[in-house]
């Protein structure tokens, strides 16, 4: 065995996205103690930067020391008690994971089913809440990573509040790529991931909780069923300026990276980042449509940072991805669950979202599609057409 040297890829899948050299350099800086005064000062800056990106003044805003899935679990283990009825909107894989979290903490999930590739239907949510007046929480995915569909978070939160429910929002793929306005929309609890539009290395999950959510946590009649994710304990470490109470050894160098990534996003300006993602999506759309291919999600519901392209019936989807990786060092994603083999998932997230990558992808995709098109054989099976 010897030191691992990874290949240099262009990451255009559903995550992680490309990490800027500034972020990688930050992560390589000397490790210091997680209670060192210098590190504590940087923690305060990370909190302020996350408040900017989330567009919130919530005091309880911080990165969980684990990936986005732990951010999801943080929301559910702190806000859901055994017997609580939770309305979960499912329109893809990650809505289904929300349901699993509710079940595992002893809650009662009420599922609002939506077609994969479609946004969550506000009318279905409204009807469900009318039928379940005792519901305590509404949970949904803002940007469904498995399909590339965007739901109307503002409207869904308004409906939840009309029925006296807290709203938990998955913003793993949306934060930094499209508008996420926690305070303006009234979101009670939200989680994201470091490896998507924030363009940091995987392994951290920014979260934010408002006062309504904090009040529910304080009024719990049972202990939070996770010691590591119990916010009443974690906040002793992330709580605020000054002395910190030891809770766990924070991933020091990973937090250097997140700090640098957030600094870069602040330098660009949040609105400018949203515009950049949209403009590069429009260029990608033109290139994909010039190949005669179709998008899986309707235009008005598409995510500019995560594009799902329908696989033509005569194309070997796995071979296309294999050729892109082998010949161009370019990674895209496959479909998940019921969409396996039916879609390509193409990310334009964070640092990956630039015109150079759009042009690289369209050319490489055209070539790989052509080499992976299946032709009917005499025996009724199919074979790959020869390279043109």
Query: pLDDT tens digits for 94-135?
Result: 999 999 999 999 999 999 999 999 999 999 999 999 999 999
d(CA 19, CA 189): 27
Domains of the chain: 20-266 (3.40.640.10), 270-384 (3.90.1150.10)
d(CA 39, CA 144): 34
Q: Which tens digits make up the pLDDT trace of 317-328?
A: 999 999 999 999
Instruction: Check residue 238 and give its pLDDT.
Output: 84
**Poorest-confidence range of 15-19, 28-32, 226-230, 377-381?**
377-381
Q: Which tens digits make up the pLDDT trace of 288-330?
A: 999 999 999 999 999 999 999 999 999 999 999 999 999 999 9
Q: Which residues pair with 85 in a beta bridge?
A: 108
- Name the residue among 60, 96, 50 with its Cα closest to residue 259: 50
Contacts of 256 (CB under 8 A, 6+ apart): 26, 27, 29, 42
d(CA 188, CA 211): 8
Greater confidence (387 vs 239) lies with 239
d(CA 357, CA 329): 12
Ramachandran sector of residue 9 (left: φ over 0; alpha: ψ -120 to 50; beta: rest): beta
Tally Cβ neighbours within 10 Å of residue 127: 12
Cβ atoms of 151 and 141 within 8 Å: the answer is: yes
Instruction: Check residue 376 and give its pLDDT.
Output: 62
Q: Which tens digits make up the pLDDT trace of 39-74?
A: 999 999 999 999 999 999 999 999 999 999 999 999
State how far Cα 261 lies from the chain centre.
16
d(CA 54, CA 239): 18
d(CA 178, CA 302): 11
Report H helices in the chain: 21-27, 37-54, 68-79, 93-104, 122-131, 153-162, 182-185, 211-218, 231-238, 252-268, 270-290, 317-328, 355-371
């Amino acid at each position: 065995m010897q030191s691992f040297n990874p290949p240099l890829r262009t990451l255009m899948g559903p995550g992680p996205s490309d990490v800027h050299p500034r972020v990688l350099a930050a992560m390589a800086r000397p490790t210091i103690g997680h209670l060192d005064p210098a590190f504590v000062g940087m923690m305060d800056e990370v909190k302020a930067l996350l408040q900017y990106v989330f567009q919130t003044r919530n005091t309880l805003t911080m990165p969980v020391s684990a990936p986005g899935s732990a951010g999801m679990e943080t929301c559910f283990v702190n806000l859901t008690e055994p017997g609580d009825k939770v309305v979960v909107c499912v329109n893809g894989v990650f809505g289904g994971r929300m349901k699993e979290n509710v079940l595992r903490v002893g809650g009662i999930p009420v599922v609002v089913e939506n077609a994969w590739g479609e946004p969550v239907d506000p009318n279905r949510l409204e009807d469900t809440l009318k039928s379940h007046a005792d519901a305590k929480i509404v949970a949904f995915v803002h940007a469904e990573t498995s399909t590339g569909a965007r739901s109307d978070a503002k409207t869904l939160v308004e409906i939840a509040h009309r029925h006296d429910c807290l709203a938990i929002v998955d913003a793993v793929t949306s934060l930094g790529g499209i508008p996420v306005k926690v305070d303006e929309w009234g979101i009670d609890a939200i989680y994201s991931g470091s490896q998507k539009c924030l363009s940091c290395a995987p392994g951290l999950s920014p979260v934010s909780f408002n006062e309504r959510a904090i009040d529910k946590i304080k009024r719990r009649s049972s202990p939070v069923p996770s010691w590591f994710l119990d916010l009443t304990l974690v906040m002793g470490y992330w709580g605020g300026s000054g002395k910190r109470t030891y809770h766990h050894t924070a991933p020091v160098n990973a937090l250097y990276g997140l700090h640098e990534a957030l600094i870069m996003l602040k330098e660009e300006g949040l609105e400018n980042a949203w515009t950049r993602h949209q403009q590069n999506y429009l260029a990608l759309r033109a290139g994909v449509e010039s190949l005669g291919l179709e998008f899986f999600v309707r235009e008005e519901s598409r995510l500019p940072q995560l594009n799902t392209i329908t696989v033509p019936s005569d194309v070997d989807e796995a071979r296309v991805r294999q050729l892109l990786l082998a010949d161009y060092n370019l990674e895209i994603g496959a479909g998940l669950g019921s969409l396996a083999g039916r879609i390509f998932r193409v990310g334009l997230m964070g640092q990956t979202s630039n015109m150079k990558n759009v042009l690289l992808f369209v050319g490489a995709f055209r070539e790989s599609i052509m080499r992976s098109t299946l032709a009917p054989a005499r025996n009724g099976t199919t074979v790959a057409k020869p390279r043109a």
